[in-house]
């Protein structure tokens, strides 16, 4: 089940390789995610020694939460759970020039919250326009096919 998606990443970046990782969360954060209170603006993936973290991922407050949480707690670094081979592969990809890692989506799989992340390369302005043009053409073709089926 999809909890939240980083739609901006698909527009701004060319996706090279995807990974799915577990994410270490507290109970109230999971409940807030089920209420769709996540924001990916400015979030990115970092590797420190042998651990992978998602930085600047905003998870809002749970609606029925009794204790107050501060802004620094909503954007704190959260540890990702990957095995050694995946971490080494991710590190090798990120060492190449022009590549970075960004979170794509938060999903619920077997009652566990997972983070889908990707190694990406930034698009130029004309690449973004081309993506938008292709999306519009696909939408127009689907509309014409729908009208054609009606007759």
Distance CA 115, CA 94 (A): 18
Nearest to 89 by CA among 23, 31, 18: 18
User: What per-residue confidence (pLDDT) applies to 132?
Assistant: 82
CATH dotted code for 2-123: 2.40.280.10
Confidence of residue 122 (pLDDT cuts 50, 70, 90): confident
Decide if 35 contacts 62 (C-beta within 8 A).
Answer: yes
Confidence of residue 71 (pLDDT cuts 50, 70, 90): low
10 Å CB burial of residue 117 (0-12, 13-18, 19+) is buried
User: What per-residue confidence (pLDDT) applies to 22?
Assistant: 92
Confidence of residue 127 (pLDDT cuts 50, 70, 90): confident
Decide if 96 contacts 119 (C-beta within 8 A).
Answer: no
Question: Which residues touch 34 (CB under 8 Å, ≥6 apart)?
Answer: 3, 108
């Amino acid at each position: 089940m999809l909890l939240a998606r980083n739609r901006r990443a698909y527009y701004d970046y060319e996706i090279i390789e995807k990974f799915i990782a577990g994410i270490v969360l507290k109970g109230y954060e999971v409940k807030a995610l089920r209420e769709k209170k996540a924001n990916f603006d400015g979030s990115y993936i970092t590797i420190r020694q042998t651990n992978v973290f998602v930085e600047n991922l905003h998870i809002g407050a749970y609606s029925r939460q009794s204790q107050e949480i501060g802004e620094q707690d909503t954007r704190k670094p959260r540890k990702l759970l990957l095995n050694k081979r995946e971490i080494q592969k991710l590190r090798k990809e990120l060492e190449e020039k022009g590549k970075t890692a960004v979170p794509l989506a938060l999903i619920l799989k077997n009652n566990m919250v997972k983070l889908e992340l990707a190694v990406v390369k930034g698009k130029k302005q004309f690449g973004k326009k081309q993506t938008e043009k292709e999306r519009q053409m696909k939408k127009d073709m689907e509309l014409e096919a729908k009208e054609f089926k009606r007759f």
